[in-house]
Structures are given as C-alpha cells and as structure tokens.
A and B are shown apart, each in its own frame.
Chain A
Amino acid sequence: SQQGEEDPQALSIQEGENATMNCSYKTSINNLQWYRQNSGRGLVHLILIRSNEREKHSGRLRVTLDTSKKSSSLLITASRAADTASYFCATDVGSYIPTFGRGTSLIVHP
C-alpha cells in the first residue's frame, strides 16, 4: 500500500477561494514534497518540507507538517483557474525513493 494518501480525492471550488488538501502517511519520514500535475503534463515540484520543519510558504502556497499526526496539508490561497490540476504528496522514508499517493484532483471554476 502507498505511503502517502491525499484527502480529499476531489475538490471543486470557485476562483478566489482557498483550497486545502491533506496528506497522511504511515511511517516516519525524512522529508515530504508536494507536486502538481496538470492534465497531460509531467509532475512539477511545488515545495519541500523537512521533518524538522512545521510550516513553509511559497507564494500562494502554504504547507504544514505535523509529524506527531503523520500528516501534511497544502493550502492554496486565492485560487485561480490555472491551479486546476492533480496534487500529490511524496514522502522520503530513507530509501530516497519518493513515494506518492493517489493525489487530490482540484478543479477551480472561473
């Protein structure tokens, strides 16, 4: 079974609203990354958060990490139609092979 599981599986919001996606994982990690996949395109790295960090920001993105709950969240503020994509978390459990979940499919309606 996969290490990371994103929740919800699908999210539909209006432009300008905030979108929050969660990722839960099972074993201790070194780092966690969030990626985005636009339809028909490759995976784009968004942000990395290390196990000793609790929060990171990058533009309209905010990522939190709670190692006690083995969970992370990705917040996209003031969403845009161009944010429509699938979002994946990937965990590094020490084997240095990123392990992905099923992803959250985000649709932002203009």
Chain B
Amino acid sequence: EAGVTQFPSHSVIEKGQTVTLRCDPISGHDNLYWYRRVMGKEIKFLLHFVKESKQDESGMPNNRFLAERTGGTYSTLKVQPAELEDSGVYFCASSSRTGFIYSSGYTFGSGTRLTVV
C-alpha cells in the first residue's frame, strides 16, 4: 500500500508569505496527525484529525496556522503569514486506530522542510 505522502518536500519562502503543506494519509486511515520539529528541538504535536474533525488542536502554535481535512481524506496545513520561527520540518502521520493499541505504530510521511527567510 502507498505510504503517507507529503508535499512539497522542501519549501523556501520569505517572511510574510503564505505556504500550504499537504499530507495524503494512507487510504482508509481515519486518524491524521501533524507534528513539527524545529532544528535541534523535540518533535512537537500540532493537531489530530479524526476523519474531517479536529480531535485535538492543542499543539497549534497560534492563529497563523490553519489545518483542514475536507472530506476526511488529505489534509492541508497553511501558515499565513509565515514568520522566521516557523522554519522546521513538518511531519504528518496517519493511523487506522487511535493510540498505541497495536504494535505497528504510526506511519509517518517524509516531512516537509520549511525554511522561512
């Protein structure tokens, strides 16, 4: 089966511009997660979708970030306007069930490396 796909793989934008990241989860996976890793720091949770609904968005840093998952399939994460501190790698993950209740873990995409200059 196809894995979790993220694009673009890299994006370099200027401060103040808008960027939209996309994540295509594994087909049939209801749960979709966004994470971010700023250089040298931990991988931080941003939000969790169950189908098209936001289950938990407690990790979203501020209102410049908007995540959507229309139709419960792919998800987008828009940053508008982008700031320098938004630079980092944005990961998406999907799972068919919630929680570590099975041994195969979550399937992560390759990430989008965002650089704001």
Residues of the A chain whose Cβ atoms lie less than 8 Å from the Cβ of B35: 100
Minimum CB–CB distance for B1 against chain A, Å: 15
Known pairs A48-B103, A97-B56; A102 contacts B111 (CB<8 A): no
- CB contacts (< 8 Å) of B106 on chain A: these are 45, 98
Count how many chain B residues have C-beta atoms less than 8 Å from C-beta atoms of the other chain: 27
> What 0/1 readout, one digit per residue, does chain B (20-54) give for beta carbons within 8 Å of chain A?
00000000000001010000111111001000000
* Interfacial chain B residues near A40, Cβ < 8 Å: 110, 113
Is B79 engaged at the interface, CB distance under 8 Å to the other chain?
no
Q: In chain A, residues 53-110, which have Cβ atoms closer than 8 Å to a Cβ of chain B?
A: 88, 92, 95-103
Given A102-B42, A103-B42, does the pair A42, B91 have CB atoms closer than 8 Å? yes
A10 to chain B, nearest CB (A): 11
CB distance from B42 to the nearest CB of A (A): 4
Total interface residues on A, using CB and 8 Å?
24
Q: How far is the CB of A15 from chain B (nearest CB, A)?
A: 26
A42–B109 CB distance below 8 A: yes
Asked whether B67 is an interface residue with its Cβ less than 8 Å from the other chain, the reply is: no
In the complex, what's the smallest C-beta–C-beta distance from B62 to chain A, in angstroms?
Answer: 19
Task: Give me 12 other A-B pairs in contact (C-beta within 8 A), A96-B100, A103-B43 excluded.
Answer: A42-B4, A42-B6, A42-B109, A43-B93, A45-B105, A48-B105, A97-B33, A97-B45, A100-B35, A100-B43, A101-B43, A102-B41
Q: List 21 A-B contacts (CB under 8 A).
A: A30-B99, A33-B100, A33-B105, A35-B108, A41-B110, A41-B111, A42-B6, A42-B110, A44-B108, A45-B106, A48-B103, A48-B105, A50-B100, A97-B48, A100-B35, A100-B42, A100-B44, A100-B45, A101-B42, A101-B43, A103-B43
